[in-house]
Every structure is written in C-alpha cells, then in structure tokens.
C-alpha cells in the first residue's frame, strides 16, 4: 500500500483534475447556453446552438458527479463544511443546473416565440448563475470561510448567502463567467458554421481578452490579501483531525507557494497564455477553431490550477477559527479508503475517457440549420 502522505497528495491532484474536467467538459455547454441571445439571432440559430450541445451535455455532467463523489469519499470534512455551510449557494446552483434539462426538454414543445423566449431565458440564467456561483465559491475558498469545529469535530458555520458575495469573491465570479463564456464560444466556433461561427469567434476574442485581464487583476489583488499559513510543520501521515495544528494569518500568503516552488508559476502563466492564445487563434482571418478550443481548455486548466496552488496545503481555510482550516494532511479519509479509491479510479477513469472520446468521434462534424431541420428529434 502506498504511503498515507503520497495518497493524500495524489487525491489532492485527482480532485484538481476532476474540477478541471467539470469546467472543460461541462463548461462549454453552460457557456453555449449563456450565449444564446448573443450568438443566436434567430430561432433557427438558437436551435443550431442547442443541438450542438444537446447530444453531449448530459454525459458531460459525469465530471460533476465524479467531482462531488471524490469530495464525499476522499475529503469528508471538506464535503461536510462545503455542502452544509454553502447550503443556500448549493441550492441556487442546483436550481440553475435544473433549468438546463428543463429548458432543453420544453423549449421546442410549442412553436410560439414567447414560449421559446422564456425557456431561452432560463437556459441563459442557468449558465450564468452556475458559472457565477462556482467562481464565487472559489473566491471564498481563497479568502477563508467562517466555520469552526468543537472538541468533538462538529462543524458550525456562521456565514450566510449574501456574506459570500465579497468584492474579491465577486471578481472571481466574473472570471468564472467570462471563462465559461469564452469556452462556450470557442466550442460553437468548432461545431457550427456561417454567421453563428463568425459571431462565436467574435465573442471568443472579447471574452478571452477579458479573462486574461481579470485574471491578472485578481492576481495583483490576491498578492495584497492576508492568507493562512500553518505555523509549524504538519505530520503528513498523521490522523485526520484539523484541530491538531496551529494556523496564523499572514499578508501575501496566497503568493507564498510561488516563492517556495518556482514551477508553480506555470499555472497562472497557462491561464493567461491560454486565454491570449485563444483570442489570437479565434481572430485569424483563417480561423483555427479546434486549436482555439485546446487553448481555451488550457486556459481553464490554468485558472483552476492557480487556485489550487495558491491554497495548498489548504483545501478550505477558516476565517472564523484559523486553526480549524482543512488541509490536505488533516481532512482526508483513511489510508485504506484512499488506496481502494485509487485502484477503482485507475480501472474506471480510463474507461470513462475512452467512452467519452468514442462519443465525440461519433458526433464529430458541424451542426447546421439543414441538419437540424431534417432531424425530427432535434431540439
């Protein structure tokens, strides 16, 4: 059996990969829905957009389920704090995500412009709210969340929904919104043609540049914030009890890992570089939409990896009782549980990746007004 320290570090990395998978795979259909009124000027345009993501959006949610399942199984205290403390935010997120299948199912049931506009609005709201909530959650993780544990490790959360919308967290929410919109626009540039593709390329350029600018602004802001530092070295193979450490606040702590590990700077560089490359590839007179999608995916990975690197070793720091903050070394499941999960992941994750690749190969090719009109089962 691998060492406890190695398993904890491995599952921190796996959690990061799954979060990136959620943003890359489920992000483009949220972004495409968000852009319905901007890229789709007519009802047929919007039907083309919806049918470009219609066959795959449900499968993409596998990554969301995997991410939530990994948190539940590998990091139980993190699951308890996040899903209890952020209860109303999670409820808001679920409502937003529910609007998507409902919108897909009911939009084309009635051939009435007002009916379809209502469901289009629901799809836009679903993509926008979900993206915003995800970003605000990451922003609050960087700032610290008001929770504490008593002597029996029962958690108490002392925040509220509106308290999550702090200025820096709102900036992180805006980064998430423009990032998902960029990714959705690049996907539409790959899967459509004509005027829809042209508009999608224009949106991709604007949102990619906005992402790079907002991401740099967030980095400069984060450098001025006080963060959390473990006051003494933790036992990396010790028991999962967050109360066995001492934590202090320290100005600039979110930048600390970049000084300790110079390679860590690759994460923000990937975020900025991927966004600017996306803008350049989408702007060319002869566009390269597939290459732009790869660059957009890299930008998404860089943004999320930057949050993880900045927080490490914390998973979720506490602003109320800093010593209770959850770290990689004191918030995991048992060594046996992590080992079993590692074996299961090694078996099933390649199968999921292979099946996903096969599905996208089968569904390759553009979606056009002609193919939508000819398909009686199209949205």
Write out 312-334 in H/E/C secondary structure: CCEEECECCCHHHCEECCCCCCC
Please state the separation of Cα 208 from the chain's center in Å: 16
- How confident is the prediction for the chain on average, in pLDDT? 92
pLDDT bucket at 105, cuts 50 / 70 / 90: confident
pLDDT bucket at 285, cuts 50 / 70 / 90: low
Give the pair of three-digit tokens for residue 271: 């975020």
pLDDT bucket at 202, cuts 50 / 70 / 90: very high
Answer whether residue 210 shows pLDDT above 90. Answer: yes
> What is the value of pTM for the model shown?
0.93
Distance CA 278, CA 369 (A): 26
Query: What are the tens digits of pLDDT across the range 138-159?
Result: 999 999 999 999 988 899 999 8
Answer whether residue 287 shows pLDDT above 80. Answer: no
Query: What are the tens digits of pLDDT across the range 353-369?
Result: 999 999 999 888 888 88
Domain residue extents for the chain: 22-374
Cβ burial of 259 (10 Å; 0-12, 13-18, 19+) is: exposed
Q: How many residues in total does the chain contain? A: 379
**Could you identify the residue written with the tokens 């606040």?**
249
Cβ(191)–Cβ(366) below 8 Å: yes
Give the pair of three-digit tokens for residue 67: 């991410």
> Residue 323 belongs to what H/E stretch?
none
Query: What are the tens digits of pLDDT across the range 21-46?
Result: 999 999 999 999 999 999 998 989 99
Answer whether residue 303 shows pLDDT above 90. Answer: yes
Answer whether residue 10 shows pLDDT above 90. Answer: yes
Answer whether residue 284 shows pLDDT above 90. Answer: no
Mean pLDDT of 216-231: 94
What confidence score (pLDDT) does residue 109 get? 84
Helix crossing, 266-283 with 167-191: angle to 10°?
Answer: 40
Pairing of strands 226-230, 247-251: antiparallel
Mean pLDDT of 68-79: 93
């Amino acid at each position: 059996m691998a060492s406890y320290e190695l398993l904890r570090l491995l599952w921190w990395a796996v959690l990061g990969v799954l979060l990136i998978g959620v943003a890359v795979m489920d992000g483009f259909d949220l972004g495409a829905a968000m852009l319905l009124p901007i890229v789709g000027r007519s009802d047929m345009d919007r039907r083309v957009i919806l049918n470009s993501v219609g066959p795959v959006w449900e499968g993409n949610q596998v990554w969301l389920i995997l991410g939530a399942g990994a948190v539940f199984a590998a990091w139980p205290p993190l699951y308890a704090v996040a899903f209890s403390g952020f209860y109303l935010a999670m409820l808001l997120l679920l409502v937003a995500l529910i609007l998507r299948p409902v919108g897909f199912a009911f939009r084309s049931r009635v051939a009435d412009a007002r009916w379809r506009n209502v469901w289009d609005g629901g799809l836009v709201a679903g993509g926008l709210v979900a993206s915003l909530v995800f970003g605000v959650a990451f922003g609050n993780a960087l700032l610290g969340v008001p929770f504490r544990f008593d002597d029996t490790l029962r958690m108490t959360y002392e925040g509220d929904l509106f308290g999550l919308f702090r200025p820096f967290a709102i900036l992180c929410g805006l980064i998430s919104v423009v990032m998902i919109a960029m990714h959705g626009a690049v996907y539409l540039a790959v899967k459509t043609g004509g005027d829809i593709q042209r508009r999608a390329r224009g949106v991709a350029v604007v949102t990619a540049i906005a992402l790079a600018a907002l991401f740099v602004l967030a980095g400069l802001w984060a450098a001025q914030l006080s963060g959390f530092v473990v006051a003494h070295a933790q036992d990396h193979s010790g028991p999962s009890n967050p109360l066995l450490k001492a934590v202090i606040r320290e100005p600039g702590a979110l930048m600390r890992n970049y000084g300790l590990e110079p390679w860590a700077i690759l994460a923000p560089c990937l975020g900025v570089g991927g966004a600017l490359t996306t803008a350049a590839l989408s702007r060319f007179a002869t566009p390269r939409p597939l290459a732009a999608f790869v660059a957009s995916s890299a930008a998404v990975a860089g943004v999320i990896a930057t949050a993880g690197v900045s927080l490490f070793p914390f998973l979720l720091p506490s602003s109320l009782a800093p010593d209770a903050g959850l770290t990689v070394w004191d918030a995991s499941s048992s060594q046996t549980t992590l080992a079993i999960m590692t074996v299961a992941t090694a078996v099933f994750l390649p199968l999921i990746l292979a099946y996903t690749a096969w599905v996208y190969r089968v569904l390759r090719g553009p979606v056009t007004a002609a193919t939508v009109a000819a398909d009686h089962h199209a949205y």
